């Protein structure tokens, strides 16, 4: 967050203030997705660009590898992936309707070592 505060191109930002409805594939009910960050930046051409940004561990940004004997951990990973995918599809559509972008950042983007 201090990166956003220090970036002179950032016009405004907020954390977990944009709520996007999505349908969970687990229970087929509507839920609310609180996206991690909203960022509005001034571009070199003077225009602004707005993005919603989700921060996730890289392991959660791709579907789990299929295994022969599903165990509890694997089932949990599949369910997590399904919910995340539904959230991200809803966020992508939400942003597209507004001319924004949706981005998912991992530890690789943030130069973090876990």
pTM: 0.86
Query: 57 with 106: CB under 8 angstroms?
Result: yes
Cα 53 to Cα 42: distance, rounded to the nearest angstrom: 16
Residue 103 token pair: 């981005």
Tell me, what's the pLDDT at 70?
A: 86
Residue 95 token pair: 């942003």
At 112, is the pLDDT very low, low, confident or very high (cuts 50, 70, 90)? Answer: low
Tell me, what's the pLDDT at 17?
A: 94
Domain boundaries, given as residue ranges, for the chain: 2-110
Tell me, what's the pLDDT at 101?
A: 98
| Cβ count within 10 A of residue 62 | 9
């Amino acid at each position: 967050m201090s990166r956003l505060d220090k970036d002179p191109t950032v016009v405004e930002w907020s954390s977990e203030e944009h709520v996007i409805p999505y349908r969970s594939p687990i229970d087929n009910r509507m839920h609310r997705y609180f996206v991690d960050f909203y960022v509005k930046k001034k571009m070199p051409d003077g225009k602004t660009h707005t993005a919603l940004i989700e921060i996730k561990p890289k392991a959660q940004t791709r579907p789990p590898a299929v295994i022969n004997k599903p165990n509890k951990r694997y089932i949990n990973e599949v369910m997590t992936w399904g919910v995340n995918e539904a959230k991200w599809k809803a966020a992508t559509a939400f942003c597209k309707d507004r001319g924004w972008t949706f981005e998912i950042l991992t530890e690789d983007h943030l130069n973090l070592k876990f």
